[in-house]
């Protein structure tokens, strides 16, 4: 089998509309052939669970920039792969959410930078900033391992330096900065890939992403694909040997998947 690890926004999902229908025929073909599709995203678990169900995916998934891997109970056999909660076996890498919210507040005070994180935003504000429907924005606000935020006044560099000085990390996605600790898409992908190789006959691992925060996990797979974005030039330097699709978004995602299926025979 092939195991595909994919970013969402800007990759499988259109960056502006969140539409994934251009990728649907390729995704359906993957699932029909029995290959695994692992959503690897900065999105929250509640949001990914609904999206995954709509797409017909039953594989494990990775949330909040590698904060945790969620595996359906019993997916890899009778022995749990991690702690269990809400019907999931969970491999946790990230610090818990309240710690991050407090750390962001302290870093903002230390640096003199004004910030606004998801914890302070209403569902309506998140919807306005992201373009998500209210129902989806409500799911997106249910954070566990990663606090998205915007810089309202002051130098982002000063804030990021304060975050690092406190022993935390930060990353930047298409719309928000994120404060994290321990989260690592690369580490999460490597751990899940090992589980697949232990319990399944895996011929190849494939990665698809468009952002700088995807570089870590794209270096962990056998075949890396970059979906065109404003960050492509920088990402190519971070992931030597990666292939570039001709189209952006879900259309480019489908190109890469169909190419991999053709190579696999």
Catalytic residues: 7
Structure-token match 């792969």, residue found: 81
C-alpha closest to that of 207 among 56, 55, 2: 2
Q: What is d(CA 264, CA 124) in angstroms, rounded to the nearest whole number?
A: 45
Q: Which of 210, 229, 220, 225 is nearest to 258 (CA)?
A: 225
> What strands lie across the sheet with 147-153, from one edge to the other?
114-117, 147-153, 177-180, 169-172
**Cα-flanking dihedrals φ and ψ of residue 159, to 5°?**
-65, -45
Q: Are 27 and 55 in contact (CB under 8 A)?
A: yes
Please work out, in degrees rounded to the nearest 5, the angle formed at the alpha carbon of residue 65 by the alpha carbons of 117 and 157.
55
The SS3 assignment for 46 reads: helix
Sequence-ordered list of residues with C-beta below 8 angstroms from that of 47, at least 6 positions apart, any chain? 136, 139, 140, 142
φ, ψ of residue 102 to 5 degrees: the values are -65, -40
């Amino acid at each position: 089998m092939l195991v595909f690890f994919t970013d969402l926004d800007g990759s499988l999902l259109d960056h502006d509309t969140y539409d994934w229908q251009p990728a649907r025929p390729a995704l359906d073909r993957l699932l029909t052939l029995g290959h695994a599709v692992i959503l690897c995203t900065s999105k929250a678990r509640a949001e990914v669970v609904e999206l995954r169900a709509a797409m017909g995916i039953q594989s494990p998934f990775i949330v909040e920039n590698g904060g945790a891997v969620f595996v359906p109970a019993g997916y890899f056999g009778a022995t749990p792969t991690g702690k269990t909660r809400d019907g999931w076996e969970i491999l946790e890498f990230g610090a818990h959410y309240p710690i991050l919210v407090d750390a962001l507040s302290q870093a903002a005070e230390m640096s003199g930078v004004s910030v606004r994180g998801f914890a302070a935003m209403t569902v309506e504000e998140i919807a306005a900033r992201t373009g998500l429907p209210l129902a989806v924005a409500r799911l997106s606000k249910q954070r566990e391992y990663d606090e998205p935020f915007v810089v309202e006044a002051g130098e982002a560099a000063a804030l990021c330096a304060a975050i690092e000085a406190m022993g935390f990390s930060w990353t930047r996605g298409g719309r928000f900065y994120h404060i994290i600790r321990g989260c690592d898409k690369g580490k999460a992908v490597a751990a899940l890939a090992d589980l697949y190789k232990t319990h399944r006959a895996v011929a190849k691992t494939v990665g698809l992403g468009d952002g700088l925060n995807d570089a870590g996990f794209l270096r962990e797979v056998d075949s890396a694909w970059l979906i065109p974005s404003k960050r492509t030039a920088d990402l190519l330097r971070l992931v030597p040997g990666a292939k570039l699709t001709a189209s952006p978004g879900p259309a480019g995602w489908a190109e890469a998947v169909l190419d991999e299926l053709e190579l696999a025979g």
